[in-house]
Amino acid sequence: MKSLKYLLFTVLLIPAWSCLGAEIAVRDGESIQDAVTKAEPGDTILVYPGSYKESVYIDKDNITLRGVVQKGKWPVLEGEKLRNDAILYSGNGITIEWLKIVEYKGNAIMGQSGNNYVIRNNWVIDAGVYGIFPQFGVNGLIEYNVLSGIEDAAIYVGMCDNVDVRHNEVFDSVAGIEIENTRHALVENNYAHNNTAGILTFITPGLPIKTTYDVIIRDNFIVNNNTPNFGAPGSIVSGVPVGTGVLIMAADDVVIEGNIISGNNSFGLVITDLSFITNVSSDPESEPNPDNIQVLDNFMINNGNDPVAEVRALMATRLSTTGPDIMALGTAGEEDNCLLNQQAYRTYGTKKWGVCDRTTTADIVSYQLPEPAPARLIENDQDRAAHLYNGICAGCHAYNLRMIGPAAMVIQALYHDDPEGLAEFIAKPAKIRPDYPEMPPQDYLSPELRLKVAEYMLKLEK
């Protein structure tokens, strides 16, 4: 009876946009990429236990890449700290599950504009800058993954819409879960521990998507996020204080409910405007203030025991040496934010906050769409270049702000009259500056597409 219940539960998890197709087996010593090349939309690629030393690119729709775990043995994608990315996908309706991914330099799993994605039950260790990184995608599910040892964000949802992030464990990374320039996101039932910061929701200026709003952070276990910050110097995440439970920066309409937030040495929850990270350049189209932040009932205890110097200085104005459960900085202290129960928390900067009218988000079960999102419409070469830039480049290269890669303005200065040279670098990048990680090669793009992306990037104005 137990196995029947499990089977029924598994069937219910299959997304509505999946199609029944052929099964293609990949065994130790064979190539996953060869199987992807052979696959047709609707097919499932079954990867059996073994060692797979390769990078995989999926540019087809409705492909399932599924590991087969047998007697505790996993299929393992091994980067050996030589390869940049484990899996890149640009197709729609992609499912990636039951894979172990270790020691890559760039990303474990990166989505490049693919809609209707499912990423679940994967085990990611020391896989570079980002662990799971869907970018510029609509309608996604990220669940039951375990990630550790990531240099930026273990789970990084960038410029996406309608995403559920739930039941994941993230630890020993700089940021556990990061929701950036994303709308309609549910972050629920995750275990974020022993990172520099547990869960972040914010706006990065200079990106094509300018807003973050309608985010629910609910029923998570966010504890002991006191790992020293080992983010790339100069990157946004390198400015996040050690000991941060939850950080809300410039995002709007965010609800924090039902979380256990404990043992974070600087503060449990900090809400701030864009001035919090001083190296963020201005972008007139990115509204800098966090509006309509709603802190409902949460359990916060034992936070702020050893805050960073900046927090310690602020608390000294209250003759305190410990940090608060909740800290509101800059315009976050204004009246349009609210606390359901002010007396339940040790707070700083929330005197003007009102009492929330809302008491629960139980009416919202998921932010996924009831039907699959259509593929993005591409009518001409300009649309295609913009689509590629947004889905591939923008997550690392904001217009006038250093992220993991240099700002687009810097690249324009270097290659302003040489799109061919930039296209060649995109295909075969080299590590030039010691303060930036090596860029992953985008040689899976055709020479024509690489040139179009280069020309588009060099003409960007904001």
pLDDT digits (tens, 9 = 90+) for 351-379: 999 999 999 999 999 999 999 999 877 66
**Predicted pLDDT at 298:** 98
Alpha-carbon distances, residue 360 vs 261, 295, 345, 363 (angstroms): 18, 10, 18, 8
**Predicted pLDDT at 155:** 98
Tell me: pLDDT of 10 over 70. Answer: no
Is residue 74 within 8 A of residue 51, CB to CB? The reply is no
- What residue type is 95 in one-letter code? T
Looking at the fold, whether 143 and 244 belong to one and the same domain comes out as: yes
Domain that holds residue 406: 381-458
**Predicted pLDDT at 17:** 45
List pLDDT tens digits, range 132-185.
Answer: 999 999 999 999 999 999 999 999 999 999 999 999 999 999 999 999 999 999
Tell me: pLDDT of 87 over 80. Answer: yes
Quickly state the pLDDT bin for 447 (edges 50, 70, 90): confident
Residues 257-286, mean pLDDT to the nearest whole number: 85
Structure tokens belonging to residue 145: 């993954």
Pairing of strands 326-328, 354-355: unpaired
- Asked which of 334, 349, 374 is the last residue of a domain, the reply is 374
**Predicted pLDDT at 381:** 67
Lowest mean pLDDT: which of 154-163, 235-244, 266-275, 397-406? 397-406
Tell me: pLDDT of 333 over 80. Answer: yes
320 against 344, higher pLDDT: 344
CATH code of the domain covering residue 403:
1.10.760.10
Residues 372-387, mean pLDDT to the nearest whole number: 76
**Predicted pLDDT at 350:** 95
Looking at the fold, whether 421 and 349 belong to one and the same domain comes out as: no
Quickly state the pLDDT bin for 270 (edges 50, 70, 90): very high
Domain assignment present for residue 446? The answer is yes
Looking at the fold, whether 70 and 139 belong to one and the same domain comes out as: no
**Predicted pLDDT at 453:** 81
List pLDDT tens digits, range 404-414.
Answer: 678 778 887 88
Looking at the fold, whether 267 and 388 belong to one and the same domain comes out as: no
Kindly state the percentage of the chain with pLDDT values over 70: 92
- Asked which of 352, 374, 396 is the last residue of a domain, the reply is 374
Residues 25-44, mean pLDDT to the nearest whole number: 98
Kindly state the percentage of the chain with pLDDT values over 90: 66
Lowest mean pLDDT: which of 40-54, 375-389, 441-455? 375-389
**Predicted pLDDT at 401:** 67
Looking at the fold, whether 410 and 355 belong to one and the same domain comes out as: no
Looking at the fold, whether 308 and 398 belong to one and the same domain comes out as: no
Averaged pLDDT score across all residues of the chain: 89
Domain assignment present for residue 118? The answer is no
Tell me: pLDDT of 22 over 70. Answer: yes
Q: Tokens 């030393």 correspond to what residue?
A: 53
Quickly state the pLDDT bin for 280 (edges 50, 70, 90): low
Looking at the fold, whether 249 and 305 belong to one and the same domain comes out as: yes
**Predicted pLDDT at 450:** 84
Q: What is the largest CA-CA distance in the chain?
A: 68
Looking at the fold, whether 400 and 367 belong to one and the same domain comes out as: no
Lowest mean pLDDT: which of 43-52, 211-220, 281-290? 281-290
Is residue 23 within 8 A of residue 43, CB to CB? The reply is yes
**Predicted pLDDT at 379:** 62
Residues 49-65, mean pLDDT to the nearest whole number: 97
Residues 387-410, mean pLDDT to the nearest whole number: 74
Domains contained in the chain, number? 3
Tell me: pLDDT of 101 over 90. Answer: yes
DSSP assignments along 31-87, one per residue: -HHHHHHH--TT-EEEE-SEEE-S-EEE-SSS-EEEE--BTTB-EEEE-TTT-SEEE
Tell me: pLDDT of 402 over 80. Answer: no
Residues 6 or more apart from 121 whose CB is under 8 A from it?
A: 97, 98, 143, 144, 145
449 against 25, higher pLDDT: 25
- Residue 102 has what DSSP assignment? E
6 against 91, higher pLDDT: 91
121 against 333, higher pLDDT: 121
**Predicted pLDDT at 314:** 85
Domain assignment present for residue 396? The answer is yes
Domain assignment present for residue 1? The answer is no
Is residue 192 within 8 A of residue 170, CB to CB? The reply is yes
Q: What is the torsion angle, in degrees rounded to the nearest 10, for the CA atoms of residue 381, residue 383, residue 386 and residue 392?
A: -90
List pLDDT tens digits, range 185-213.
Answer: 999 999 999 999 999 999 998 888 999 99
Domain assignment present for residue 343? The answer is yes
Alpha-carbon distances, residue 52 vs 10, 48, 82, 111, 127 (angstroms): 26, 10, 13, 20, 14
Domain assignment present for residue 283? The answer is yes
Domain assignment present for residue 50? The answer is yes
- What residue type is 431 in one-letter code? K
Structure tokens belonging to residue 94: 């992609």
Domain assignment present for residue 111? The answer is no
Looking at the fold, whether 174 and 193 belong to one and the same domain comes out as: yes
Looking at the fold, whether 177 and 234 belong to one and the same domain comes out as: yes
Looking at the fold, whether 429 and 281 belong to one and the same domain comes out as: no
- Asked which of 374, 398, 416 is the last residue of a domain, the reply is 374
Looking at the fold, whether 336 and 413 belong to one and the same domain comes out as: no
